[in-house]
Amino acid sequence: MTMTPEQQAEIDEQRAAPRETLRTVSEGMEKHLYSAIPVLDHGFVRVIDYMGDDAAICQAARVSYGKGTKSVQNDEGLIRYLMRHWHSTPFEMCEVKLHVKLPVFVARQWIRHRTANVNEYSARYSILDREFYIPAREALAAQSSVNNQGRGEGLTDEEAARVLDILKGDAARCYDHYEEMISGDGQAGLARELARMNLPANIYTQWYWKVDLHNLMHFLRLRADAHAQYEIRVYADAICQVVADWVPFAWKAFEDYRMGAVTFSAQMVACLRRMLAGEEVTAENSGMSAREWREFEAALRG
Ligand SMILES: Cc1cc2nc3c(=O)[nH]c(=O)nc-3n(C[C@H](O)[C@H](O)[C@H](O)COP(=O)(O)OP(=O)(O)OC[C@H]3O[C@@H](n4cnc5c(N)ncnc54)[C@H](O)[C@@H]3O)c2cc1C
């Protein structure tokens, strides 16, 4: 379960107390405020706070006194121009603060994105909940034979059942031992900061994560991508929904000029020019390595 009834009641209470403000409000983002988007079996992403909207990006780009908006079309055109030309600082004027509940092994990948502010639940101070990520049947797959950093064919039913049994058994046993070690029942009980060391990497942790829109889009470019591990990609996908509602113009520009864009090397561009001039360009006469040629072909195929 993602939320306990008590946690849901706290969220409902926050959502039931709107206040008037002079600050910029993004209507699309208001509907997300405080609510949790469920991710994986016990995880979630929820918006705690945000600053700015599409107009704020234009306002910063024009360093204006008022709203900065000339017209909606002008704003969209300006945002697309900024994105196309990597004029990134106006996007840093928007910020979002998220509350994320995620398995520890996902957190290890996530924390590599250094350009955010993080405050994590303290397992020195508090006792971790008995909540472990157990993959859905369809998320279980064998090691990929072509990509060392990924999964390939799905598992048979029998193999999947064996793996799930191991995962559930290990999680239960480790958590039982964790509880046993910290128990003060007739014994001193081990400190929480030490007892946690036997917990597996699929236990859930939580953090507040604050980041500006420029760096958030960099995160999404890498983690909502097909090359990212499924378990972090589903979090990135959830955040993509939020960003699309928060700053629709910036989101569309990001989809067009980053997510959906392809980068060609100088060699690739030279090959493209030769192709357009009618020359038959092959792996052998391309001047590229076999791997780069495959990537080039894949980019052209789409
Ligand atoms: C598919 C995939 C596979 C990966 N595999 C591995 C792996 O096998 N092993 C591994 O260790 N990591 C791996 N990573 C993590 C990856 O190498 C990056 O650490 C991670 O994606 C964060 O990217 P970043 O540094 O650009 O982001 P951020 O830390 O958010 O930084 C954003 C940008 O700010 C600048 N910046 C930030 N800090 C510095 C700094 N100290 N010095 C200079 N510039 C800085 C850089 O321009 C950087 O691109 C993988 C990532 C992906 C997406």
196, 206: one domain: no
Q: Which of 211, 213, 222 to mutate to test the pocket of ligand 1 (most atoms within 8 A of CB)?
A: 222
Domain shared by 180 and 84, yes or no: no
Are residue 111 and residue 217 in the same domain, yes or no?
A: yes
Residue 47 sits in the same domain as residue 168: no
Does the C-beta of 228 come closer than 6 Å to ligand 1?
yes
Phi first, then psi: what are they for 98, rounded to 5°? -115, 150
- The answer on 167 and 27 residing in a single domain is no
How crowded is the C-beta side of 126, counted as CA atoms within 13 Å?
A: 8
In this prediction the pTM is 0.94
CA dist 234 and 40 (Å) reads 8
Binding site, annotated residues for dUMP: 109-112, 120-124, 196, 223
Q: Cβ(114) to ligand 1 under 6 A?
A: yes
Contact present, 192 and 125 (Cβ < 8 Å): yes
What gap in Å lies between CA 98 and CA 239, rounded to an integer?
9
| 59-64: Cβ within 8 A, 24+ apart | 59/93, 60/89, 60/90, 60/93, 61/87, 61/90
CATH number of the CATH domain containing 59: 3.30.1360.170
Let me know: does 220 contact 243? Beta carbons within 8 Å: yes
pLDDT classification of 69: cutoffs 50, 70, 90:
low
Domain identity same for 141 and 213: no
Q: Which of 200, 224, 245 is the last residue of a domain?
A: 200
In the chain, the number of structural domains is 3
223 has catalytic annotation? yes
CB 226 less than 6 A from any atom of ligand 1 = no
Q: What is the model's pLDDT at position 70?
A: 66
Do 221 and 77 lie in one domain? The reply is yes
Quick: pLDDT tens for 196-245: 999 999 999 999 999 999 999 999 999 999 999 999 999 999 999 999 99
Out of 223, 273, 294, 301, pick the active-site residue. 223
Torsion-angle region of residue 68: left (phi > 0), alpha (psi -120 to 50) or beta? left
Burial of 239 (0-12, 13-18, 19+ CB in 10 A): buried
Last residue of a domain, one of 160, 178, 200: 200
Is the CB of residue 88 below 6 angstroms from any atom belonging to ligand 1?
no
Domain boundary among 152, 169, 200: 200
Residue stretches of the annotated binding site for FAD: 89, 112-114, 120, 212-214, 218
DSSP classification of residue 8: H
What is the model's pLDDT at position 25?
94
Same-domain status, 173 and 30: no
What is each CA distance from 272 to 116, 266, 277, 296, in whole angstroms?
39, 10, 9, 10
pLDDT surpasses 80 at 141: yes
Name the residue with the closest Cα to ligand 1, atom 32.
Answer: 115
pLDDT tens digits for range 11-26: 999 999 888 999 999 9
CA distance 97 to 126: 23
Q: Are residues 233 and 219 in the same domain?
A: yes
The answer on 92 and 40 residing in a single domain is yes
Q: Assess whether pLDDT exceeds 90 at residue 127.
A: yes
- Same domain for 210 and 113: yes
Shared-domain flag, residues 92 and 231: yes
CA dihedral 244, 249, 253, 254 (to 10 degrees): -30
Structure confidence at residue 1 as a pLDDT band (50, 70, 90) = low
Give me the domain span that covers residue 126.
Answer: 5-133+202-259
Measured CA distances, 275 to 197, 262, 281, 302 (Å): 58, 18, 6, 17
At 121, phi and psi to the nearest 5? -55, 130
